Structure 1
Amino acid sequence: MSSPRGEIARDGKDRPHPHPETSRLRSNPRHPAPSKAAPPVRPRVSLKTLLKVTSVAGGIQFGWSLQLSLLTPYVQELGIPHAFASIIWLCGPISGFFVQPLVGLVSDRSTSRFGRRRPFILAGAAFIVVAVLIIGFSADIGYLLGDKVGGGQNKRPMAIVAFVTGFWLLDVANNTIQGPCRALLADLTGKDHRRNRVANAYYSLYMAVGNILGFATGSFNGWYMVFPFTMTHACSESCANLKSAFLLDIIFIIITTFISISAAQEVPLRSRDRTTAISEGSEQSSHAQEAFFWELFGTLRYLPGSVWVILSVTALTWIGWFPYLLFDTDWMGREVYGGDPDEGQLYHKGVSMGAFGLMMQSVVLGITSVLMEKLCRKMGSGILWGISNIIMSLCYVAMLVIAFVLVKTDSLGHGLPPTGAVIAALVVFTVLGMPLAITYSVPYALISARIESLGLGQGKVC
């Protein structure tokens, strides 16, 4: 991949406007231009260190995979109608819109002696632990607050309130930790775009490992026997199983966060270094009292056309990914097995089979992540990303065909579904691991390579 700085230099007419703060510094004789002062040579971060730093992605994704495989069925067990389940998941995009750029901007400017990114990663992990405890014990919390259990009671309003509170807090925590993690990789790799792609591939690999462990945990229904204290009057077997799985998540996120922040040796950004750190991603506004979102959207004016293409494709791609990620196991339980959350065991067997399919998907995601750098060098990052989106679309069409065939054969609700339909659904889940791995890594590497020379702040733009 050619350097963005080189692309700009070949055509002066297409040179993007410099950042306002950078222009002000260069035009002021009291402040010498950053380019005139020789920046300190930063030692190249070893691949072993990058491997340790990216391990936190495994802990994040472990909990995220448990969310995806278990929580949509669980909210329906608490009495939330299926039609409203997706409304609860709106927290992810909403908190991502506000929290990620805000945390990215604040971390860009942070002068903490612990570094710019690590304090936010640690805070995000702590919030994840709190949120997971609230979600896992939501049924018990609801019971303590007055919910009635048994006697045909299918709705537990206080448990729903506790669950939704914990769920939204968990999404805020996930968005708090993910932005600084990506920005930290850009900080550590600097202008070495190849190593940045490798770091993002490592990140995607750990996401695959977290997915494999998380979906394997979600597909096993006997965790409550390992943690027998999770069984309570308000929490049945399925509830206790979810609670036990989230306790494992807490252990995993603590371990991976410790490994990551101890391996990332960040150099603290001092206040007087902010002006010279612009080229490294630490941007300071020319107006100290300027509102955050005004500044954020003002930055969009300085993005070149290639970055706008990446942002647009990312937005359209996630329109496709979100419905699948939220309802994949629910789709398996309803559309393939023909079950209902409140009737019989067919639905729960379908959910477990869906979690198994997602585990196989994560294996493919991990393999693709290992091969990512070679694939990008051979095909080009943009072409590879385009092919992955085509494969994703074809898989979604295949899911529609599977559901249509099962309806036409009138096999839903009459025992276990045909073996061929289950295998076809598992194949679709597995194949989707390849485009998912590319979605998790390539867009971030493309963005980092194109905005590094503009001095707009890696944390904010990522």
Structure 2
Amino acid sequence: MTQTASSAVAPQAQQPRLPFWQVWNVSLGFLGVQFGFSLQNANASRILSDLGADLHSLSLFWIVAPLMGLIVQPIVGSASDRTWSRFGRRNPFILFGAIAAALGMAFMPNAGIVVAIVAPIIFGGVMLALMDAAFNVTMQPFRALVSDMVPSEQRTLGYSIQSLLINIGAIFGSMLPFILTNVIGLENTARAGEVAPSVIWAFYIGATVLLGSVLWTVMRTKEYPPEQYNAYKGLDSAQLEQERQQKAPLLQRLAGFFQLLVRMPRTMRQLALVQFFSWFALFIMWVYTTPAITQHVWGVEAKWFDPAYLETVGEIPAHIAAAKGAAGDWVGIIFAAYSLFAAIFSIVLARLAQVLGRRLVYALSLALGGLGYISFLFFQGGEPTQVNLLITEVSVPSGALGLLLPMVGVGIAWAAILALPYAILSDSLPADKTGVYMGIFNFTIAAPQIVSALVAGLILKTVFDNQAIYILVLAGGSMLLGAISVVLVRENPEPEPDLKATTTA
């Protein structure tokens, strides 16, 4: 098994601090990626329901998201670690993934046009899988790009800025269908087997923003050439080049990859438990918030999410379609709200982590998120209330307006989840394995979502009788367990010694 650089390493050069706006440029593309990702998160369940998915099977459609992450991110991470071209190391993967994601976004809401070839629900599921695979191809190199380009003393700032940009993109991505309906005037109701025009046009706009922002990062970020990068990271350029030229057999590379899994940093293993509880909860929120508030706040019975029942009534009554459309739009508003609160918290996150410690801020943030989910239960129905959203006024049940309060806690938790695990982890990773370990770390994001996808729908049907509000309360309990688990995490100021000389994957 080939050994990586560990002994005959040239003296490490000082990696320069980046100008503030260059730290922004490195992550700006993530604004567009999250713009598109938030459109998907807020509207995929709505689209799939419109195309014919029943309530408890929604999580099974969503399982493709973590599966794609589980498969794609380690492969892309390992490949980008070994890729040095005139276009950069991470940039080619970022750009390719963005193009593929934009194509998926353009096709998914148009699933109804292929009804003569394939069932729209199947086509919609395939496009969801394509988008998720492409988002993962783009996201993983972005995480590694910050670690590559930003020196250690600016690392928390770098991931905090990335968190801020992610949430700015999420705010506008989540709100876009609502804006197109209530400001532009597009229709937000859908006939059976079709998708609302406001959602279709939102996906077109999202694809455009995604490509534009990624191009900005790719064109504005000049990655370090191999010799310079290796000097900054204290690596032996000659030995690394020799390893790259030696094409190991597939079985040997797989053995190397599994050895990396076994020898992952202690900090990564400790963070995995926190990640499990956090992402189990987040997955439930993304899948079931729309049916939860449609039932709990707008008073639409669970039977109106059952395709078998819908077949017996034919056309959906106008008041039911209107309620489902209004609730779906409001999900975009409250998702934008938690992204806004997350963006605001991201501004002070780095300073708080410096003063109070990253672990304490992480734990408190997750606890606030858990309480936010549980408090959904206390906002139900109510009298119609006129709400001024600056861009327009809408009338919603008072319970819907109250849901903005839990979003404060959810937003704080989301900002911490986006930044602090990566800031804690990056200091314990070997520089020549950052990409592959960031990809492996995605296991701790994908695995809990897969578990959630497999069990959440079953729990919803058998335990909660398809009353989706209670599955959100379950998510709150999971997030609180994540907060408690942070106490087990121990930070490493430097990469662990046994990882500085490890086998190649």
The two structures have a TM-score, normalised by structure 2, of 0.73
The two structures have a TM-score, normalised by structure 1, of 0.79
1:276 aligns with 2:236: yes
- One of 258, 277, 282 as aligned partner of 1:321: 282
**Hey, what does 1:68 align to over in structure 2?**
41
How many Å separate the matches in 1 of 2:218 and 2:182?
30
Asked if the contact 1:109–1:283 (Cα under 8 Å) also holds between the matched residues in 2, the reply is no
How many Å separate the matches in 2 of 1:384 and 1:53?
25
Cα drift, residue 424 of structure 1: 3.0
Gaps of 5+ in 2: 306-315, 385-394, 439-505
Cα drift, residue 444 of structure 1: 0.7
Cα drift, residue 76 of structure 1: 1.0
Amino acid at match of 1:256: S
Matches within 5 A, 1:437-452: 437-451=415-429
Cα drift, residue 212 of structure 1: 0.9
Asked if the contact 1:336–1:417 (Cα under 8 Å) also holds between the matched residues in 2, the reply is no
How many Å separate the matches in 2 of 1:379 and 1:128?
39
How many Å separate the matches in 2 of 1:79 and 1:360?
29
Secondary structure at the residue paired with 2:86?
Answer: coil
Cα drift, residue 279 of structure 1: 11
* 221 and 455 in structure 1: CA distance in 2 versus 1, 3 angstrom threshold: closer
Gaps of 5+ in 1: 1-18, 27-32, 147-156
- One of 150, 168, 171 as aligned partner of 1:212: 171
How many Å separate the matches in 2 of 1:217 and 1:117?
30
Asked if the contact 2:103–2:207 (Cα under 8 Å) also holds between the matched residues in 1, the reply is no
Cα drift, residue 110 of structure 1: 0.5
Amino acid at match of 1:21: Q
**Hey, what does 1:461 align to over in structure 2?**
437
1:79 aligns with 2:57: no
Matches within 5 A, 1:261-272: 261-269=218-226
Amino acid at match of 1:206: L
Amino acid at match of 1:169: L
- One of 81, 84, 94 as aligned partner of 1:111: 84
* 214 and 278 in structure 1: CA distance in 2 versus 1, 3 angstrom threshold: farther
Secondary structure at the residue paired with 2:134?
Answer: helix
* 264 and 337 in structure 1: CA distance in 2 versus 1, 3 angstrom threshold: same
Q: How well do the aligned residues superpose, as a CA RMSD in angstroms?
A: 3.3
* 269 and 252 in structure 1: CA distance in 2 versus 1, 3 angstrom threshold: same
- One of 348, 357, 360 as aligned partner of 1:383: 360
Asked if the contact 1:135–1:166 (Cα under 8 Å) also holds between the matched residues in 2, the reply is yes
Secondary structure at the residue paired with 1:426?
Answer: coil
Matches within 5 A, 1:385-424: 385-402=362-379, 419=398, 421-424=399-402
**Hey, what does 2:140 align to over in structure 1?**
179
Cα drift, residue 367 of structure 1: 0.4
Asked if the contact 2:369–2:411 (Cα under 8 Å) also holds between the matched residues in 1, the reply is no
- One of 348, 352, 360 as aligned partner of 2:337: 360
Asked if the contact 1:124–1:176 (Cα under 8 Å) also holds between the matched residues in 2, the reply is yes
Cα drift, residue 140 of structure 1: 1.7
Cα drift, residue 80 of structure 1: 1.5
**Hey, what does 1:308 align to over in structure 2?**
269
**Hey, what does 1:195 align to over in structure 2?**
154
How many Å separate the matches in 2 of 1:299 and 1:200?
24
**Hey, what does 1:247 align to over in structure 2?**
204
Cα drift, residue 105 of structure 1: 0.4
How many Å separate the matches in 2 of 1:376 and 1:278?
38
How many Å separate the matches in 1 of 2:432 and 2:277?
24
Secondary structure at the residue paired with 1:21?
Answer: coil
1:167 aligns with 2:128: yes
* 222 and 444 in structure 1: CA distance in 2 versus 1, 3 angstrom threshold: same
* 87 and 306 in structure 1: CA distance in 2 versus 1, 3 angstrom threshold: same
Asked if the contact 1:140–1:235 (Cα under 8 Å) also holds between the matched residues in 2, the reply is no
Secondary structure at the residue paired with 2:87?
Answer: coil
Cα drift, residue 241 of structure 1: 1.5
* 347 and 137 in structure 1: CA distance in 2 versus 1, 3 angstrom threshold: closer
Aligned length: 405
Asked if the contact 1:361–1:430 (Cα under 8 Å) also holds between the matched residues in 2, the reply is yes
Give a deviation string over 1:33-90, Cα, whole Å, max 9, x none: 343x234554332221110121111101111111122220121111111221111110
Secondary structure at the residue paired with 1:298?
Answer: helix
Amino acid at match of 1:216: M
